[in-house]
Chain A
Amino acid sequence: MSSMENESDVIVASEEISPPAEPLELLEVAAAESGSEAGNYYDRSRIRLAQAGQPIAKVLVREKIRLGPNVEFSPDGQQILAKEPGQVNWHSGRIWVESVLEIRGDVDFTTGCIEFAHDVSVRGSVLDLFKITSGGTVRVGHAVEAAHIQAAVDLLVNGPIVGKGKGHCIIGQNVHAKHISNVTIEAGKDVIAKTEITHSHISCGGKLAVERGSLMASQVVANGGVHCGILGCAAGLPMVIEVGVDPALRRLVSEQLVKIEADQKKIEKIKQTVEPLMRNAKGLSAAQKEQATELLFRASEVEDQNRKTIGLLRQRSEDAASQSHAEVHVEQLLCAGVILRMGGLEAAIVAPLRGPIKIGVGQHRGERRILATSQGRSGACQPLPSHPAVDHVMDKLQRLLV
């Protein structure tokens, strides 16, 4: 018996066309960027994200569709377009685009990595090796694990950031978390942890604070200073705390200095070539004169470019200086093994110091020293054995700006 003779396979044609079950058909809006079969499973986003102006659905029964925020019908009425970038939602006949991306659970294989132009809110955790890139603030309800977070504004984590040696957060402004461990953080402004920071590399343009606990076994560069309960650990694990230097500025200077120096050499070379020609301009052919003009113009262009770069560095340096606060405040205990760098000086702590103390640079018997000043009743000031710490990059910047 052939399959056509089987009753269950026979399709009975009807003259009546039943209306579609759904009044619209959602289109694959994010498939092009992140749905590639060739990509790895971490990169495959399962979130339906649309760009402004992008068609997000095909209209089947227009009367049954209610438009929510940030969507509109296309001019021909055949499609629904996103008016703003965001997450496409469709529920009970209503379609809308949410400009805050909300993940109800974890960022894991069910969501894939997230790339979103605005704020991202994750109710759960961001699991190992997943990545969030946001043009706004990233809020996380539980933990950030060994993940990569990049946010233009803040990273606000209710729980901990537990990097397991692989986590990396690049944040435009502030980072707040319960505690921070084994992670690299680069923040434009403040990094604030409630209870503890351990085994981390942290650089920030503002201050670093551990509100009620210890900062230990970490490398820190904080332009706006450090405030913590306990600094270092009883085991004397080495750690370096550098304050009053903007790490982003240092990186920028380090990159730009190479270019500026190369350009200066180029200008020098052009001048050396053109100068003898200019001294003997009358003896030059017309072609040589035009060539000399070209060289002079090129030198002038490079000089202009260098001037602009130096101007930018000057501006950034002034901005960083306005937020700079080269002080360390320790409420309870400053442990041995901590190396402090500030104001071009370095001091190694060889014996624990009781808090509350403030450490900063000042004059002691006519010499610039790192001083530990008790914030208790005594107000005693103790100079720490300090020696110059040369910062070649920032020194070069200072010479350049002079």
Chain B
Amino acid sequence: MKVLLVDDSRTMRNIQKKVMEQFGPMEFSEAADGVEALSVIAATPQGFELILIDWNMPHMDGHTLVLRIREKDKLTPLIMVTTESEKQRVVDAIKAGVNNYVIKPFTPDQLIGRVKQTLEKRKAAA
């Protein structure tokens, strides 16, 4: 499975990688902000099967990134993984087009649960 991890913290990306590896063989791409993520997406014509996005990042935040991705791609599952826990933020993210929302701090099991849920919904919709 091809997965893009977008987070300005390398540690957090490593955590996500290790958690995601429990789903089986993975091919990860990484980006430290929204701008870098867009160029990685542009350089990957076959696309990603899942993108995890942090909200607060330099250059371009996660919310803007979601809006930019959804301008062209309505299908790729996007999960916002963020410290932003206010209800309004969650609503904003869902309106922008995320498929799921994980609030930090999270346990590995919580992230696994949300990823599983998202992928199953995507599969059912396909």
| Interface, chain A (partner B; CB < 8 A) | 274, 277-278, 281-282, 284, 286, 289-290, 292-297, 300-301
Asked if B106 lies at the interface with its beta carbon under 8 angstroms from chain A, I say yes
The interface stretch among B7-15, B23-31, B41-49, B68-76 is B7-15
Which interface residue of B19, B85, B104 has the most chain A CB atoms within 10 A? Answer: B104
A293-B56 CB under 8 A given contacts A281-B85, A282-B85, A301-B18: no
Residues on the A chain within 8 Å of B9, using CB: 290
What's the least CB distance linking B13 to chain A, in Å?
12
Evaluate contact between B85 and A293: CB separation under 8 angstroms. Answer: no
* 10 pairs from A and B in contact (CB 8 Å cutoff): A278-B105, A281-B105, A286-B56, A286-B104, A290-B83, A290-B105, A294-B12, A294-B15, A296-B105, A297-B108
Chain B: CB-nearest residue to A286: B83
Residues on the A chain within 8 Å of B106, using CB: 293, 296
Interface residues in B, total, Cβ within 8 A: 16
| Interface, chain B (partner A; CB < 8 A) | 9, 11-12, 15, 18-19, 56, 83, 85, 103-109
Evaluate contact between B15 and A289: CB separation under 8 angstroms. Answer: no
Which of these, A290, A295, A296, A297, contacts B18 with CB under 8 Å? A297
A293-B18 CB under 8 A given contacts A281-B85, A286-B56, A286-B83: no
What's the least CB distance linking B43 to chain A, in Å?
28
Chain A: CB-nearest residue to B22: A304
Residues on the A chain within 8 Å of B85, using CB: 281-282
Evaluate contact between B105 and A277: CB separation under 8 angstroms. Answer: yes
Which of these, A281, A286, A296, contacts B107 with CB under 8 Å? A296
Residues on the B chain within 8 Å of A296, using CB: 105-108
What's the least CB distance linking B88 to chain A, in Å?
14
Evaluate contact between B105 and A289: CB separation under 8 angstroms. Answer: yes
Chain A: CB-nearest residue to B19: A297
Q: Could you tell me the distance between the alpha carbons of A292 and B15 in the complex, rounded to whole angstroms?
A: 12
Evaluate contact between B11 and A294: CB separation under 8 angstroms. Answer: yes
Q: Could you tell me the distance between the alpha carbons of A61 and B46 in the complex, rounded to whole angstroms?
A: 59
Q: Could you tell me the distance between the alpha carbons of A28 and B103 in the complex, rounded to whole angstroms?
A: 65
Residues on the A chain within 8 Å of B18, using CB: 297, 301
Chain B: CB-nearest residue to A297: B15
What's the least CB distance linking B118 to chain A, in Å?
19
For the complex with contacts A281-B105, A290-B83, 18 further pairs of A-B residues with Cβ separation under 8 Å are A277-B105, A281-B103, A284-B83, A286-B56, A289-B105, A290-B9, A290-B11, A290-B104, A293-B12, A293-B15, A293-B104, A293-B105, A294-B11, A294-B12, A297-B107, A300-B107, A300-B108, A300-B109
Chain B: CB-nearest residue to A303: B108
Q: Could you tell me the distance between the alpha carbons of A297 and B106 in the complex, rounded to whole angstroms?
A: 8
Chain A: CB-nearest residue to B14: A297
Chain A: CB-nearest residue to B81: A293
What's the least CB distance linking A274 to chain B, in Å?
7
Residues on the B chain within 8 Å of A278, using CB: 105
A292-B104 CB under 8 A given contacts A282-B85, A297-B18: yes
Which interface residue of A281, A293, A297 has the most chain B CB atoms within 10 A? Answer: A293
Q: Could you tell me the distance between the alpha carbons of A295 and B106 in the complex, rounded to whole angstroms?
A: 10
What's the least CB distance linking B122 to chain A, in Å?
25
Q: Could you tell me the distance between the alpha carbons of A289 and B107 in the complex, rounded to whole angstroms?
A: 11
Q: Could you tell me the distance between the alpha carbons of A284 and B104 in the complex, rounded to whole angstroms?
A: 10
What's the least CB distance linking B81 to chain A, in Å?
9
Q: Could you tell me the distance between the alpha carbons of A249 and B48 in the complex, rounded to whole angstroms?
A: 47
Residues on the B chain within 8 Å of A284, using CB: 83, 105
Which of these, B12, B19, B56, B105, contacts A274 with CB under 8 Å? B105
Q: Could you tell me the distance between the alpha carbons of A297 and B112 in the complex, rounded to whole angstroms?
A: 12
Residues on the A chain within 8 Å of B109, using CB: 300
